[in-house]
Structure 1
Amino acid sequence: MSTETVGLIGLERAEVNELEPRVACRFAAFEMMPKVQVRDQRLYLARFGAWDWTGPVDKVIFHGIFENDLPGIAALALWGGPCLPSASGLLDCRPRIANLARVRKVSRFAALPRSYTDAGTAFTTEVPSVAKWGEWHCGEGKERFADKWTPSEPSLIEPFLGGEAVRVTAIGDALFQLRLGGDDWKKSIHHSTAAHMPLDESLAGDVCALRDHFDLAVCAADYIVSPDGTPNLLELNHVPNVTQFPEIRAAYLDFTAKWINESPRAQPVRKVPRS
């Protein structure tokens, strides 16, 4: 077995168990966001409530969304070692509102006008709209409204669009398009009617551009395709669900195992000379 230590952050035990026999390294697995420390250019991880640091860690697989993970992701970016997806891409895409502001400069389909309102301010509109706040997904932190909205948190406001909700997921160069399902205007890949659908070449190109620009490798973009066929980007998911559909799960595990086995480990520490 290799002397490498790979930190797995956010993966479920089932996926960890399937990866273990496919790689030649030691795993340090954390289902929740660990404590992070970068010391002498080396990365150390520990579970909350403990000071038992695991490290140095040579590579990181990050696949989770946690309530207070932004400082830890920033620390991974400061470390600069091999991370899947890249820590800099995760950092760019973690805060929802900042994410969309950055994504709008890359996507071909992000012309939909967006508005913003601070917490405790009254926002008025003449068109049916959707307010989005917080960092959670799967329908949380969203509300449809008309006329007036007074948020308790900073909120993104966008016009409500009718049409088909779709997601294109990238696992490296493998692309999958899904039709999202739901019982009301909120759509999700977790609904029983969500299913695979043929890949649209224009959406595939858009997702690849986003994937490459943010160096994410694994990501997914959600769109509303209007009745006239016009796609409208809703958001870029930096940590998309990869376990709901067997084909996507298999592609993710194959890609992750290959990345672990073939990516260079963290570079040796270079000592700073004393003055």
Structure 2
Amino acid sequence: MDKIRILVIGLEEAEVNALKQSLNFNYLMVHYDLVPQVKLIEGQLYVESSSIPGKYLLVNKVIFHGIYKDDLDFITLLAMWNGPCLPNALGMMDLRQRIPGLVRALSVSKFSGIKRGMVIGEQEYNSETEVVAKWGIWHCGEDKNKFNGDWTSTETSVIEEFIDGEAVRIMIVGDKNWQIRLTGDTWLKSIHNEGSWEMEIDQELLLDSTAIAKHFNLQTVGVDYIIGKNGERYLLEVNHIPNVTVFPFVNKAFIEYAGEWMVS
């Protein structure tokens, strides 16, 4: 019987080693830190060997966990392949580009009430209130600017009213979920700052995030919201590749879920 080859991209060595413990002799794992060369031939996925350039190996399953500058074509190829992929490749493709992904998510969320604007390319924009401009391809807290008055974009940007409040993330891994408080010394909040940790979960936000995950068929997802000082809640962003290494309880759940998924 041919062995099942699992392609793993982007996970750190500790996670890769932990996942290997779930595999028996019927499985092979190939791991890449960066996006490798792949080909889709008559519905079958192949990856270039890391040790023999030019040799391509048949792939049966993929675990993709990274955000790379030019990864949209790769994710699209995975979606066209339509094979077993964690997270689901079509969902990743729909959310990969920041602004189009936000538009798709807003059509699902019940917390879409932030007033937003948009500029295409380089344009001047004037606001009489504090707003936040977001642009680029990253989902990592980068490419944002808070301003009022005049501002000039350097590329296509979405502009949303600034909500002063508490930033949170609903994190979903399979059937497990958490609400994470996002912290920071400035208006920019992140899971990487000291004080970011699990908090009591808002059931309405969980239901909303679960609906988003189901809509995009994503097994893992991180959905960011802002809770205004008046208690109103607003969707900010959907992370199709949420970090699974910062919090040990998330890391443990991901390793368990991915390990079971690989051999299912």
**Displacement after TM superposition at 1:139 (Å):** 2.3
Q: Does 1:99 align with 2:101?
A: yes
* Structure 1 residues 35 and 49: alpha-carbon distance in aligned structure 2, compared to 1, 3 A threshold: farther
Structure with a larger share of its residues in strand: 2
Partner residue, 2:15 = 15
Distance in 2 separating the partners of 1:18 and 1:257: 8
* Structure 1 residues 121 and 50: alpha-carbon distance in aligned structure 2, compared to 1, 3 A threshold: farther
* SS of equivalent residue, structure 1 residue 28: strand
Deviates more, 1:247-256 or 1:131-140: 131-140
Gaps of 5+ in 2: none
* Structure 1 residues 132 and 47: alpha-carbon distance in aligned structure 2, compared to 1, 3 A threshold: farther
Identity %: 41
Gaps of 5+ in 1: 263-275
**Displacement after TM superposition at 1:138 (Å):** 3.0
Distance in 1 separating the partners of 2:47 and 2:75: 12
Q: Deviation per CA, 1:113-145: give whole Å up to 9, x if none.
A: 211112211111121010111112332101111
**Displacement after TM superposition at 1:40 (Å):** 2.1
Distance in 1 separating the partners of 2:135 and 2:11: 25
Q: State the one-letter code of the partner of 2:258.
A: T
Distance in 2 separating the partners of 1:136 and 1:94: 9
Distance in 2 separating the partners of 1:132 and 1:48: 37
TM-score, length basis structure 1: 0.92
**RMSD of equivalent CA atoms:** 1.7
* Structure 1 residues 228 and 15: alpha-carbon distance in aligned structure 2, compared to 1, 3 A threshold: same
Distance in 2 separating the partners of 1:221 and 1:2: 39
* SS of equivalent residue, structure 1 residue 177: strand
* Structure 1 residues 55 and 203: alpha-carbon distance in aligned structure 2, compared to 1, 3 A threshold: same
Check conservation: 2:49, 2:56, Cα contact below 8 A: no
Partner residue, 2:188 = 186
Q: State the one-letter code of the partner of 1:21.
A: Q
Find 2:255's aligned residue among 253, 265, 269.
Answer: 253
TM-score, length basis structure 2: 0.95
Distance in 1 separating the partners of 2:51 and 2:16: 22
Partner residue, 1:210 = 212
Find 2:29's aligned residue among 17, 27, 30.
Answer: 27
